[in-house]
Chains A and B, each alone.
Chain A
Amino acid sequence: MLKIENLSATVGEGEAAKTIINGLSLKVPAGEVHAIMGPNGAGKSTLSYVLTGREGYEVTGGGATLDGADILAMDPEERAAAGLFLSFQYPVEIPGVPVMTFVRTAMNAQRKKRGEPEISAPDYLKKSRDVAKMLNLDADMLKRPVNVGFSGGEKKRLEIYQMMMLEPRFMVLDETDSGLDIDALRTVADGVNALRAPERGMLVITHYQRLLDHIKPDKVHVLAKGRIIKTGGPELAHRLEKEGYDGVLAEAV
C-alpha cells in the first residue's frame, strides 16, 4: 500500500537547507497499522509533511508511492483525493469558515476529483450526526469556525471527525495523543479503530507507548536521524517506554 524507498528530504531553502529525512525506507501493507516512534528532532513530523506535500520541504532523493502511484509528484489536494489523510499535530484555525462548510467542501472536492457524485445535504447531515455522536462532539461545535476557540482535545477530536467523514485510504496520525486526557485518548482511539479495515493502512506517529495500548500496531519502527533504525512488534514500544530511546539508539550504531 504505502511504500517509501530511500527517501531523503530537506527543510529550508538554499544554504540554510537542512537534511531531516535521510534515506528512509518503509512499507505499510494494506490492512496494517504501523507506529513510528522516535526522539525529538528525529524527523517524525517532517515525514508526515513530506508525504502530504507541505511547502518548504524538498525531496532530494528516493520516492514514495501509494498503491503504486507516485504521490510525491502530486499536489497536496491530489494526494488527499488519492486517499491520503494527515491528522495534524497542531490543527490549524480557520476563522470565518464553519466546520460543516469546510468538511462538506472537502468531501465534495475529493469526490469530484475521483469522478463521484456529490454527497446530498441530508446524507451528509446523517453521517455527520453519527460520527459526532461517536466522538462525543457537540453539534454546536460543528457550526463554529474550524478549530477557533477549541481546546487541544477538541481540536484532536475534530481531526478524527474529519478523518471519519472523509474515509481516507491511508492515514498518517501525527502525535494525535498529545494534549489528550485519558478519556479523550480512548474516544479518539475508538474513532481510529473504527476505521481499521483490510483495504486501509495507517501510520501512527507518537512519542509515547500509551496511545499504542489503544491503537494496537502491527509493527513499530524507531526513527532517528531521518531513517528507520529498528523495526519490531508491539513489544518494541514497551521496551522503549521502559528503557528510553538511548538504549535502542546505542544498539543500532
Chain B
Amino acid sequence: MSIALKDLIRNPSVAELELVARYAALKADPRRERLFEAFALTGLPHRRNEEWRWSDFKAAVGALEASATPPAQDPLASDGVATLKLTPQGYVAPVSLPPGLRLLPKDDVQAMSGAEDAPLGALAAALSGAKNAPATLMAEVTGETPVRLHMVFSGPGAINAARIVFLVRPGAELQVSESHLGGAAFSTALIEYTLQPGARLDRVVYQRGGKGEAQAITALIHQEADAETKQTVLAFGARVSRIETRLVHHETGSRATLNAAYLAGDGYHVDFTSHVRHGARACVTRQVTKGAVVDGGRGVFQGKFHVPRNTGQQTDASMQHNALLLEDGAEVFAKPELEILADDVQCAHGNTSGQLDAAQLFYLRQRGIPLVQARALLTEAFIAQALEEAGVHDEALRAQAQAWLSEV
C-alpha cells in the first residue's frame, strides 16, 4: 500500500473512517487501491468541492448504520421482466436470464475510466466485492432482439455499494430500468454502459430515498459509432441525493437523449448532474430536465456539454432546465454550462425557474377545480415532457408523480 490508510483522507469524518475500514477489510487488489485513492482525493464530497457545492455528502452521511426507513415501493417491477437485485449483501440474479444477456461475475476489480471525476462512483467500485458479491459484476448484451432487464438497488443495511458494467455489442439493444429505493443509510451505485457501434440503450431510472438517507447514482456511458441512448429519470430525492450521468460520444453519429424530472418535497434534496463530451464529429445530445420543489425541498441541476475544438465539429446539442418553485421557501440551484471550442456547431440551452402561472390557476379554479388539484394538474403538465420518452414505463412514472402531487 503506497499511502498509510489513516492518511488517505484528510480530516476524516466518522463515516469516512468507517469507509476506510471497510475498504481495508477487502481483498487487496491494485485496481481497487487506485479506485479508493480516487475517492479519497475528495473523500465524501462537500460544499467546498466546486462540483458538489450544493450537495454536501460529508455533512449528510453520519455514522453508517441501518436506515430508519424501509426501502420505497418499486413502481417499475412488472410482468415477469428479469430482475437483478443489488443489495448491501451482494447481488441476486434473476432465476432465468433473458436470451442475449450474460452475467459475468469477475473476481478481480475492473478498471473504471475517469474515476477522479466521479468520487462516489469510484467509491462504489472500490467497495464492491464484499461477501458474496464479485469484485465487479459484468454483463454482456448481444443479439437481434431487445433485451429487457430490471434492476433494483435497495435493501436494509448500513451501506449499499454496487457496481455493474454493461457491454452492449454492435447492433444489440438493452432496455433497462433501475429502481433506486434506498433502505441503507448510504447508497452509492455505479452503472457503466459501453455501447458498441449501432447499439441502443433505453434507460429508465426511478429514485426515491428516505429522509435520513444519502444516495448517489453514477452512470458512465460510452458510445461508439451510431450508438444511441435514451434516458429518462424520475427522482424524489433523499436527505441528499445525486443522480449523475457522464456520457462520452466517442465516435461519429452517436446520439443521446437525457431527460429527467424531479419532485422535491419538504426535507428532500435532488441533484441532477450531467457531463456530456462530444468527442467525435456529428453527434447529437438532447437534454430536458424539469423539476418542481415545495417549501423545504431543494433541487440542483448541473449540466455540462463539452465540445472540443478538433473532435466536436458538427455537434448538435440542446439543454433545457425548467424548475417550478411551488411554494415560498423552495430552493433550486442551476448551473448550465456549455463549453464549446468548435466553431461549426448547433448548441442551445435554456434555464428557467418560476412559479405557476396565476392566470392558468385562476382559469382552472373558475371551472371548479380546487386549488390543490389545479396546482397538481399544471405541475404534472409542466414535467410531462421530461417523461414522455419513458416508453413502457411512462404511465408508472406519471402515476408516481401524480400521487406525489396530490399529497403536497
Q: Which residues of A contact B (CB under 8 A)?
A: 52-55, 75-77, 79-81, 85-86, 88, 91-97, 101-103, 105-107, 109-110, 113, 145, 162, 166
Question: Are A95 and B377 in touch, CB under 8 angstroms?
Answer: no
Say whether, besides A94-B378, A96-B381, A106 and B364 are in contact (CB < 8 Å): yes
Expressed in whole angstroms, the minimum distance between the Cβ of A73 and any Cβ of chain B is 15
User: Which 4 A-B residue pairs are closest in the complex by CB-CB distance?
Assistant: A96-B381, A80-B368, A106-B367, A110-B368
Question: Are A109 and B368 in touch, CB under 8 angstroms?
Answer: yes
CA distance A105 to B367 in the complex (A): 9
Question: Are A80 and B381 in touch, CB under 8 angstroms?
Answer: no
A-facing residues in B330-386 (Cβ within 8 Å): 358-360, 362-371, 373-374, 377-378, 380-382, 384-385
Question: Are A109 and B382 in touch, CB under 8 angstroms?
Answer: no
Partner of B369, one of A55, A77, A93, A96: A77
Question: Are B360 and A94 in touch, CB under 8 angstroms?
Answer: yes
Question: Are A77 and B368 in touch, CB under 8 angstroms?
Answer: yes
CA distance A109 to B372 in the complex (A): 12
Which residue of A is nearest B363, CB measured? A92
Say whether, besides A80-B366, A106-B364, A96 and B385 are in contact (CB < 8 Å): yes
Say whether, besides A55-B358, A105-B377, A94 and B363 are in contact (CB < 8 Å): yes
Question: Are B360 and A76 in touch, CB under 8 angstroms?
Answer: no
Q: Which residues of B contact A92 (CB under 8 A)?
A: 359-360, 362-363
Expressed in whole angstroms, the minimum distance between the Cβ of A144 and any Cβ of chain B is 13
Question: Are B373 and A109 in touch, CB under 8 angstroms?
Answer: yes
CA distance A91 to B363 in the complex (A): 8
Question: Are B364 and A94 in touch, CB under 8 angstroms?
Answer: yes
CA distance A72 to B366 in the complex (A): 13
Q: Which residues of B contact A (CB under 8 A)?
A: 358-360, 362-371, 373-374, 377-378, 380-382, 384-385
Question: How would you classify the secondary structure of chain B's contact residues: helix, strand, loop or mixed?
Answer: helix
Say whether, besides A77-B371, A105-B373, A113-B368, A88 and B381 are in contact (CB < 8 Å): no
Q: Which residues of B contact A110 (CB under 8 A)?
A: 367-368
Q: Which residues of B contact A86 (CB under 8 A)?
A: 366
CA distance A76 to B374 in the complex (A): 12
Expressed in whole angstroms, the minimum distance between the Cβ of A50 and any Cβ of chain B is 13
Q: Which residues of A contact B369 (CB under 8 A)?
A: 77, 105-106, 109
Q: Which residues of B contact A97 (CB under 8 A)?
A: 377-378, 381
Question: Are A106 and B368 in touch, CB under 8 angstroms?
Answer: yes
Which residue of A is nearest B358, CB measured? A55
Say whether, besides A96-B385, A97-B377, A109-B373, A75 and B365 are in contact (CB < 8 Å): yes
Question: Are B366 and A96 in touch, CB under 8 angstroms?
Answer: no
Question: Are B371 and A75 in touch, CB under 8 angstroms?
Answer: yes
Expressed in whole angstroms, the minimum distance between the Cβ of B75 and any Cβ of chain A is 21
Selected A-B contacts with CB under 8 Å, 18 pairs: A75-B365, A76-B366, A77-B365, A77-B366, A77-B368, A77-B374, A80-B367, A85-B366, A88-B363, A93-B360, A94-B360, A94-B381, A96-B380, A96-B381, A103-B367, A105-B369, A109-B369, A113-B370
Q: Which residues of A contact B377 (CB under 8 A)?
A: 97, 101-102, 105
CA distance A53 to B363 in the complex (A): 11
The CB with the most chain A CB atoms within 10 A, among B362, B371, B377, B382, is that of B362
Q: Which residues of B contact A77 (CB under 8 A)?
A: 365-366, 368-371, 374
Q: Which residues of B contact A79 (CB under 8 A)?
A: 366
Partner of A96, one of B362, B367, B370, B382: B382
Which residue of A is nearest B384, CB measured? A96
CA distance A106 to B368 in the complex (A): 5
Q: Which residues of B contact A162 (CB under 8 A)?
A: 367
Which residue of A is nearest B380, CB measured? A96
Q: Which residues of B contact A106 (CB under 8 A)?
A: 364, 367-369
Question: Are B362 and A54 in touch, CB under 8 angstroms?
Answer: yes
CA distance A55 to B374 in the complex (A): 15
Which residue of B is nearest A165, CB measured? B367
Which residue of A is nearest B381, CB measured? A96
Expressed in whole angstroms, the minimum distance between the Cβ of A46 and any Cβ of chain B is 14
Q: Which residues of A contact B365 (CB under 8 A)?
A: 53, 75-77, 80
CA distance A52 to B359 in the complex (A): 13
Which residue of A is nearest B362, CB measured? A54
CA distance A85 to B382 in the complex (A): 26
Q: Which residues of A contact B367 (CB under 8 A)?
A: 80, 102-103, 106, 110, 162, 166
CA distance A107 to B369 in the complex (A): 8
